[in-house]
Structure 1
Amino acid sequence: MTVSTNSTVKQKLMSGALAGVLMTTIGVAAPMAAMTQSANAAAADNMVAAKRLNSLLTNTKSMTANFTQTTKGAKNGTFKGTMNVQRPNRFRWETKSPSEQLIVANGNALWVYDKDLEQVTKQKVDNQVGNTPALLLSGDPSKIDKNFKITQPYNSKNYYVLYPKSGDASFKSLSVSFSGGKPVMMVLNDSLGQTTSIKFNNIKLNPSISSSQFKFTPPKGVDVINQ
């Protein structure tokens, strides 16, 4: 059955897998590694920060990892699962515990499948570019500074805080930390005052990923919401 609704995909992301509740990521609750740095540490200017982040993301052509996502605020929760991203604009974000949800983007469409609700939401990827953490990792690095104000609070640390320029973004701010050239943590603050931290482990940078990971066909009998 196909139905229409005014609810948005980003709301699905924020209340589902990519935000435990929300979607995630980052008012800004900085990773502890950054919080322990001297308050007097020099910050990079915005242009330098954007260039450095662009370089790190450009080197991330594909990535697989396990994630633990914890949300604190009006709704608390911890979710675990796996993720795969590949440029351009392909990602698979699968929450496996304590509930199941699958988010898949193949470059054209973005699917959000809530198994418990027997519901699938579909939206064009273009409408969400720059608004979600997963697309930050899979999108075009050269366009990031068009969608975000990029800051680097500590000049010597690969820790960045991004503020969406779009007024309808699903979060207020997003921080991302890198270690060894790999994104290891993202933190988001949403408009509801919730903070979601996503920690990545078992990270594999630039692996070969089967194209089947980014394909999705709605199961028979589920409601399909086109947006």
Structure 2
Amino acid sequence: MRHLQRSLAILLAFNTAAVWPVIASAAPAAGQMTTQVAATEAQATTSLNALLNKLGSLQANFSQTTKATAPSKQVASSKAGLKSSHLGQTFSGVMQVKRQGLFRWETTSPMKQLIVTSGKTVWIYDPDLQQATRQTLDEQMSNTPALLLSGNAAQIMKSYKVTQPNNAIPYFVLYPRAKDGVFESLAIRFEGNIPTQMVLADSLGQQTTVVFSDAKLNPVIANSQFQFVPPKGVDVIDQ
């Protein structure tokens, strides 16, 4: 269940820029010298906004792995974060998003779990437990990384400080303006107009990397994909 909660934190929550030096850099062409120049916040915000405005819907496979990055925080992590048995384990599945605010995150391996939001209600379904949790997508929950893929671009800029370590590379690191959020930073990398990787660092000393593959930009996705009806016999818990 903690993996499911972790996915929800990424989905609804989705360090310094030096944490990602490999991602943030690119090798220059032979015989050429390049100088890495960081974008200003205004430039980074404009660049990210332009990419997000092209994203009306997205479907992709995902691979999600969490690791501990701060040994001094492992005690807190064991209580509030992932169990040690889940750290380093890779979860995979299929993700679909659609503006405004529609999101489906279905884990298929090594276990089956589902998170679906219609924009107003979030369903968390664990078929192994025969249990579904229903939550209201309130303002606090909507002020989260999920906004990057399924929300309002203007609200994103209001909620996050956007940085771009290299203005020539579509890689951004976002820091929440609110000090009481569940994460400290969120990095997102694009190839072309498609997000290919998200890296989330939280206050528990855990870092979650989500890699997207076989992504389809702006596919036709039926709204029914973002509706959930609990199967017969499933316990429903309201929170």
Aligned to 2:76: none
Aligned to 2:157: 145
* Structure with greater Cα Rg: 2
Deviation at 1:50, TM superposition (A): 0.9
Q: Distance in 2 between matches of 1:16 and 1:91?
A: 12
Q: Distance in 1 between matches of 2:180 and 2:236?
A: 24
Q: Distance in 2 between matches of 1:96 and 1:143?
A: 31
Does residue 45 of structure 1 match 2:40? yes
- What TM-score results when the alignment is normalised by the length of structure 2? 0.80
Deviation at 1:170, TM superposition (A): 2.3
Does residue 60 of structure 1 match 2:55? yes
Deviation at 1:33, TM superposition (A): 3.0
2:202 to 179, 190, 200: 190
Q: Distance in 1 between matches of 2:108 and 2:162?
A: 32
Length, aligned pairs only: 214
**Residue 61 of structure 2 contacts residue 95 of structure 2 at CA under 8 Å; is this kept in 1?**
yes
- Gap runs ≥5 in structure 2: 29-33, 69-83
For residue 138 of structure 2, give the secondary structure of its aligned residue in structure 1. helix
Deviation at 1:108, TM superposition (A): 1.0
- What TM-score results when the alignment is normalised by the length of structure 1? 0.84
Deviation at 1:77, TM superposition (A): 1.4
**Residue 52 of structure 2 contacts residue 149 of structure 2 at CA under 8 Å; is this kept in 1?**
yes
Does residue 95 of structure 1 match 2:100? no
1:66-215 to structure 2, matched below 5 A, reads: 66-73=61-68, 74=84, 75-127=87-139, 128-132=141-145, 134-215=146-227
Residue-by-residue CA offset, 1:166-199 (whole Å, 9 max, x unaligned): 2332211100000111101100012211111111
More helix by percentage: 2
Deviation at 1:48, TM superposition (A): 1.3
For residue 172 of structure 1, give the secondary structure of its aligned residue in structure 2. strand
Aligned to 2:22: 32
- Gap runs ≥5 in structure 1: 1-10
